A and B are shown apart, each in its own frame.
Chain A
Amino acid sequence: MRVALFVTCINDTLHPDTGRAVITLLERLGVEVGFPEEQSCCGQPQFNTGYRHLTEPLVRRYERAFRDYDYVVTPSGSCAAMVRDNYPRIAAEGRDSRDLAEAAARAVPKTYELTEFLVDVLKVTDVGAYYPHTVTYHPTCHGLRMLRLGDRPRRLLEHVKGLELRELPGAEECCGFGGTFAVKNPAVSAAMGADKVRAVRETGAEAVCTVDNSCLLHIGGMLRREGAAARPVHIAEILAATEADTRKPAGREGSPR
């Protein structure tokens, strides 16, 4: 089984810890992970803003980068959903669509979001993690409604030793990030974010966890601005944590670690 990490542009640039956590976690589970450097962005920001044609080269690049692998694993629900739901659409409307369609057809079935890969392919829910904190889980829109992750992330979290899961009120409501939505409709985006942060605070949890750093960027930014105690943490970083590294809790705080 040849497995590649698709780290995504946001994680690559802003959250390398998440990529490292996926490597740590998968290697601990006995999976050898490659990182083809040809990879870049899935094209989500361009596609969602109306620049479909700019994503065509990225579809081809994605397929090329991961051609030699059986599975592509990504710690991002929205990027996995982009590949699975939108690559076929991009191909369908593409200019020379035959090779695009073939690229999409090859890319789609091998692409997995991390928790999906763990539960569906590796068939594990106890990954041997230790994270002695209270955590609340925000199921991101793409994870919830496009990938239909269901309770996979929760099942993984429930098996983490020391972790206490707190129910998030209104969990299924969008946090208001939406990529360029946050820039184009800042007032509504902020109002949605404020409600999400209020819900996180109500749980009293030490950390808020998602399968996607883009939502965490938004939620975390608002938490920081409000001086709230809860810290944003990607699920990969929780699942990668073990008793050996409890002195250095995973998750981002106010300053770079």
Chain B
Amino acid sequence: MSGTYLGMPAFPTAAASSTQDGRLRANLRYATHTIRDKRAKAVAELDDWARLRAAGAAVKDRTLRHLDHYLEQLEEAVTAAGGQVHWAADAAEANAIVARLVRETGEREVVKVKSMATQETGLNRTLAEAGISAYETDLAELIVQLGDDLPSHILVPAIHRNRGEIRDIFREQMGRWGRAAPEGLSDAPGELAEAARLHLREKFLNAKVGISGANFMVAETGTLVVVESEGNGRMCLTLPETLISVVGIEKIVPTWQDLEIFLQLLPRSSTAERMNPYTSMWTGTTDGDGPRTFHLVLLDNGRTDTLADTVGRQALRCIRCSACLNVCPVYERAGGHAYGSAYPGPIGAILTPQLRGTASELDASLPYASSLCGACYEVCPVAIDIPEVLVHLRERVVQGGKVTRRGVKTVLKPAKGHAAERAAMRAAGFAFDHPGVLRAGQRLAGRTRRLHPRRLPGPGHAWSDTRDLPPVPAESFRDWWRRTRGEEQGK
């Protein structure tokens, strides 16, 4: 596992191999079940949770409806506070802007706060190509980076690793990037954390440039907000001379008062805490305190197109709490890498095919990476109806339809490879709309029941590889009714 998400196999293929990995499944099961139980308790403490959730969804919806207005307000406020705002239409543009800004400082090293936006754009790779080393300072991101691996969870990118694996990675790789791991490092959590602390401290004290994302941007004051547990983010935000924040345009909230809602929803949903240990806020620049130069790169990368879709746009409400991942039975078995993007789990299954489109086999398979059990919708703190969007995107995959791409309305053709399924669905549709045909089919099946295999041929064989089919009864309900009740009731 290394490098990139591009060119990864479709979800079912990737998931089929990860379900075979016993250690991965055990790591994931343990981690997700622990956090999901804690979350349930933290949420149950608030008797107005349902109202908070509705309020969060409403604020996000209203903001998204007037996004242009709030973004302009934000730009003005950030500029007035001494920051500079850059607009990036896509990932490549955002990365180019950041690389240029870093180069202009003359530095070759940057420290990074964990950020989904720069994972999404693959910033580290662009920086590396420009000869700039980017150091991840979030503990889990550090583990992923040292292991030449990809994140597999929004909140806990190294959730797929256990302590023993982490110790091995630290021992083998830390020296290559900076301060080596102490001799005889064990897999005790305290020792691992101390090794990371010593390694990172060196980076923080030398760094002249910091790169971050943000959980929220407050339009009225131009304030950015990062919530975290470790404090590494706060060091990145305050120690360097130059700070560059790359943030998706949907992260905006109009006022500080709105922020209050999300600062309750987010920690309980993500880490099951009442409050985040660190909540850092920064507004432009202040003389003699914190970075002297501040750049905000506003990232679109498919968000405006997503906003044009009346059903799918609710995905932009997401506050990246990862609660949906932790309850998802599919994520638990398949692991985060199978989703092939920075956004795994249920939210990834609806966000990625909207941000990237459904042209690739991988992206077209994501809306099907769900049994539609609804657990994700139930926990989502901003009430994103993920099953609804999944079904909506499935329709787009098999039937095509109207979408907006880079601001231009187009009509998508159906994805390839669904012809047989479409024919079967049409045939079934015909039979279901002609009960006489249905009855004839049932009778035929009943009469030939002794001949039926217990395993299916063709595409169904994967199903019957692990399950036996039930025997077909001799008489359908319909025929039984007609035989025993038909005459008297006549209906």
Q: Residues of A with Cβ closer than 8 Å to B?
A: 7, 9, 11-17, 19-20, 34-41, 43, 45-55, 57-58, 61, 89, 141-142, 144-146, 172-174, 176-194, 217-218, 220-222, 224-225, 252, 255-256
Contact = CB atoms under 8 A, between A and B. Distances in A.
17 contacts: A15-B473, A17-B473, A19-B480, A41-B432, A50-B395, A50-B397, A50-B399, A54-B425, A54-B426, A145-B377, A173-B329, A174-B375, A181-B372, A185-B369, A186-B12, A190-B465, A255-B471
A90 B43 CA distance: 33
A49 B398 contact: yes
Nearest to B456: A183
**Interface residues of B: mostly helix, strand, loop or mixed?**
helix
A180 B422 CA distance: 13
B91 interface: no
Interface string B453-478: 00000011011111111111111111
B405 interface: no
A182 B489 CA distance: 39
B428 interface: yes
A146 B388 CA distance: 12
A96 B442 CA distance: 32
A185 B468 contact: no
Contact of A35 (B397, B459, B485): B485
B481 A40 contact: no
Contacts of A183: 459-460, 462-463
Interface in B1-49: 11-12, 15-16, 19-20, 25
A252 B481 CA distance: 21
A144 B16 CA distance: 28
Given A14-B472, A190-B19, A222-B466, 8 more contacts: A11-B477, A16-B476, A19-B477, A37-B491, A89-B388, A186-B16, A186-B463, A187-B16
A179 B373 CA distance: 11
B374 interface: yes
B268 interface: no
A8 to B, nearest CB: 9
Contact of B489 (A34, A46, A222): A34
Given A89-B388, A145-B378, A186-B12, A51 B473 contact: no
Interface residues on B, range: 35 or more
Contacts of B476: 12-13, 16
Interface string B422-437: 1001101101110100
B345 to A, nearest CB: 13
B432 A58 contact: yes
Q: Most chain-B Cβ atoms within 10 A of its Cβ — which of A17, A144, A221?
A: A221
B438 A9 contact: yes
B275 interface: no
Interface in B371-429: 371-375, 377-378, 388, 391, 393-399, 421-422, 425-426, 428-429
Q: Most chain-B Cβ atoms within 10 A of its Cβ — which of A12, A43, A180, A187?
A: A187
B478 A182 contact: no
A123 to B, nearest CB: 26
Contacts of B374: 141-142, 144-146
Given A48-B372, A145-B378, A256-B474, A184 B438 contact: no
Given A50-B397, A177-B371, A12 B477 contact: yes
A145 B397 CA distance: 26
Nearest to A9: B432
Contacts of A41: 428, 432
Contacts of B474: 256
Nearest to A257: B473
Given A174-B329, A183-B462, A222-B466, A58 B478 contact: no
A192 B395 contact: no
B368 interface: yes
B370 interface: yes
Contact of B15 (A46, A180, A185, A252): A185
Given A50-B395, A187-B12, A190-B467, A181 B371 contact: yes
Contact of A51 (B375, B399, B477): B399
A122 B27 CA distance: 48
Interface in B249-303: none
In the A-B complex, the 9 residue pairs with the closest CB atoms: A178-B371, A221-B467, A50-B394, A186-B462, A174-B373, A187-B16, A16-B477, A141-B373, A145-B374
B456 to A, nearest CB: 9
A191 B399 CA distance: 30
Contacts of A178: 370-373
B334 interface: yes
Contact of B470 (A14, A61, A179): A14
B445 interface: yes
Nearest to A181: B371
Contacts of A145: 373-375, 377-378
